[in-house]
Amino acid sequence: MNHDDLPTLLLALQDPLLYPHPVTDFDLRETHISWVLLTGSYAYKIKKPVDFGFVDFSSLAQRQFFCHEEIRLNQRLAPDIYVDVLPISGTPERPRLNGQGKPFEFAVKMRQFMADATLDHVLAQVRPDQIDRLAGYIAIFHRNAAGAERE
């Protein structure tokens, strides 16, 4: 799939009939490396086919690999948010999420949370004791995390 097909795909993915759950609203968020389609109860993240050197999603195989890595890594701290990697088959004009056929793209499926639950909103309400508790959790997490192998 090339970069030109993605706007078509993003428009097509805004069809509520494609989803196995109720869709209450659509909102598209964009970062330098991904698009996130918010549907009300779930969010679907599609990695852009880009290569910035520090991150290379230029091939379908790399996007699939890094979708699975995102699930594997983030489920450790947010298992209720990160759900699965879904293949997208069909065509950009008529996509099928988690459907039959050869995938032309992949999406990370996540449970959507309220906009006021994002870090930038929550920080204004955090107490010092909560920061201390969070620091303790992070320290334990890092102490128990497996180290990377040396090259």
pLDDT interval class at 150 (50, 70, 90): confident
Q: Which two tokens stand for residue 130?
A: 């909560």
Sheet harboring 34-38: ordered strands across?
Answer: 27-30, 34-38, 42-47, 105-111, 82-90, 95-97
pTM for the full predicted model = 0.85
For the chain, where are the alpha helices, taking DSSP H only? 6-12, 60-74, 119-122, 128-144
Tokens 């107490």 sit on residue: 127
List, for residues 38-79, the tens digit of each pLDDT value. 999 999 999 999 999 999 999 999 999 999 999 999 999 899
Computed over every residue of the chain, the mean pLDDT equals: 91
- Class of 3-115 in CATH: alpha beta
Least confident of 51-55, 93-97, 124-128: 124-128
Q: Which two tokens stand for residue 103?
A: 């995938």
